[in-house]
């Protein structure tokens, strides 16, 4: 297993040629990895689902800790590919995965997003449904690249993304939650979307909150009728939505509750 930081990527690497790999993005606070256990579960799930050979997660954690310790507030990305080789799509006889790590600055705009909220719209592009890779974070992110371009072109921070059946799935790079009568709703992600670590943190801890949670399949009309909307991802953590569908939101009690919870857990 090859572990590299700021190294040259081989032109024969399957991650580069076919998107044959997966990744996770970790928030670093005061030189420490946040929610590592959740990220580890994500990586292990992707490894099994994509049929990768065994990976040395102990060494991966040590390398991640080493790189995180050199930063204060930052973002550490861990990318794992199937390595080099194989003719066409065929797998090489001996698979040697590569692990790449990169550190970037924490986006300062996220502080304002957490405090004041974000504007979101409704995506025109639809997400593919029924993929065998649903819920894991593979290197194939072209849908999200185009969706982000759509968000930027319409002047919003994020978009509510639906699948080909017009069911609400997620944001462009976030999981989406909305609240009605103290019940939190979110997609079950059965056929599309990414199961984020921050989403899982919420699902694991909602039992300690004054709120209930309901996972399922929902339409955009359900989001429009919400009392409150918020999004999550591993770096942003939780951020309220202040504008959606020409409506302004000013109170975010549910989002604030989970913001305080994750702050104390970090």
The two tokens of residue 188 are 């079950």
150 is annotated as an active-site residue: no
Average pLDDT over residues 111-129: 96
142 and 91 part of one domain: no
pLDDT band at 2 (very low <50, low <70, confident <90, very high): very low
18 and 45 part of one domain: yes
- Written as one string, the DSSP assignment of 132-193 is TTTBS-BS--HHHHHHHHHHHHHT-SEEEEEBTT--EEE-SSSEEEEEETTEEEEE--SSSS
> Long-range contacts made by residues 33-37, C-beta under 8 angstroms, separation at least 24?
33/64, 33/65, 33/68, 33/76, 34/234, 34/266, 35/197, 35/198, 35/201, 35/234, 35/265, 35/266, 36/61, 36/64
pLDDT number for residue 237? 98
For the domain that residue 16 is a member of, what is the CATH number? 3.30.470.10
9/173: higher pLDDT = 173
101 and 115 part of one domain: no
Q: What angle do CA 137, 142, 148 make, to 5 degrees?
A: 95
79 is annotated as an active-site residue: no
236 DSSP assignment: T
End of a domain among 106, 141, 172? 106
pLDDT band at 3 (very low <50, low <70, confident <90, very high): very low
End of a domain among 106, 139, 165? 106
Average pLDDT over residues 82-101: 86
The catalytically annotated residue of 24, 25, 34, 79 is: 25
94 and 143 part of one domain: no
State the total domains in the chain: 2
Q: Is 194 helix (H, G, I), strand (E, B) or coil?
A: strand
137 is annotated as an active-site residue: yes
pLDDT band at 5 (very low <50, low <70, confident <90, very high): low
187 beta partners: 216
Count Cβ atoms below 10 Å from residue 226 Cβ, excluding itself. Answer: 20
Q: Report the share of the chain in percent with pLDDT over 70.
A: 96
**pTM, full prediction:** 0.93
Mean confidence (pLDDT) of the chain = 93
For the domain that residue 261 is a member of, what is the CATH number? 3.20.10.10
pLDDT number for residue 11? 86
228 and 122 part of one domain: yes
Domain that holds residue 90: 2-106
CB-based burial of residue 256 (10 Å sphere; 0-12 exposed, 13-18 middle, 19+ buried)?
middle
80 and 60 part of one domain: yes
255 and 123 part of one domain: yes
Q: Report the share of the chain in percent with pLDDT over 90.
A: 83
The catalytically annotated residue of 24, 81, 84, 137 is: 137
Residue 188, pLDDT > 90, answer: yes
143 and 248 part of one domain: yes
Residue 93, pLDDT > 90, answer: no
138 and 97 part of one domain: no
List the single range of 131-140, 158-167, 170-179, 250-259 with lowest mean pLDDT. 131-140
70 DSSP assignment: T
130 and 245 part of one domain: yes
The catalytically annotated residue of 79, 170, 186, 228 is: 170
Residue 255, pLDDT > 50, answer: yes
Antiparallel, parallel or unpaired: β 247-248 and 237-244: antiparallel
End of a domain among 85, 106, 127? 106
100 and 116 part of one domain: no
pLDDT tens digits, residue range 40-85? 999 999 999 999 999 999 999 999 999 999 998 999 999 999 998 8
């Amino acid at each position: 297993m090859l572990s590299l930081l700021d190294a040259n990527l081989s032109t024969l690497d399957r991650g580069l040629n076919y998107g044959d790999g997966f990744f996770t993005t970790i928030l670093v606070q005061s030189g420490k990895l946040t929610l590592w256990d959740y990220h580890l579960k994500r990586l292990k799930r992707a490894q099994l689902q994509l049929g990768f050979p065994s990976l040395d997660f102990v060494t991966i954690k040590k390398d991640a800790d080493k790189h995180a310790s050199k930063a204060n507030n930052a973002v550490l990305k861990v990318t794992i590919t199937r390595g080099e080789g194989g003719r066409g799509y065929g797998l090489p006889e001996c698979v040697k995965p590569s692990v790449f790590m990169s550190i970037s600055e924490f986006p300062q705009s996220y502080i304002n997003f957490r405090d004041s909220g974000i504007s979101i719209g409704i995506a025109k592009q639809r997400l593919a449904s029924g993929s065998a890779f649903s819920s894991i974070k593979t290197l194939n992110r072209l849908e999200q690249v185009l969706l982000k371009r759509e968000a930027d072109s319409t002047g919003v921070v994020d978009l509510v993304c639906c699948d080909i059946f017009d069911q609400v799935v997620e944001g462009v790079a976030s999981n989406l939650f909305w609240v009605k009568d103290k019940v939190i709703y979110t997609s079950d992600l059965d056929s599309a979307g990414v199961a984020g670590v921050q989403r899982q943190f919420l699902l694991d801890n909602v039992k300690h909150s004054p709120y209930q949670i309901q996972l399922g399949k929902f339409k955009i009309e359900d989001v429009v009728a919400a009392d409150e909307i918020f999004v999550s991802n591993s770096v942003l953590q939780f951020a309220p939505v202040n504008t959606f569908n020409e409506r302004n939101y000013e109170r975010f009690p549910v989002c604030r509750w989970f913001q305080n919870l994750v702050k104390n857990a970090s």
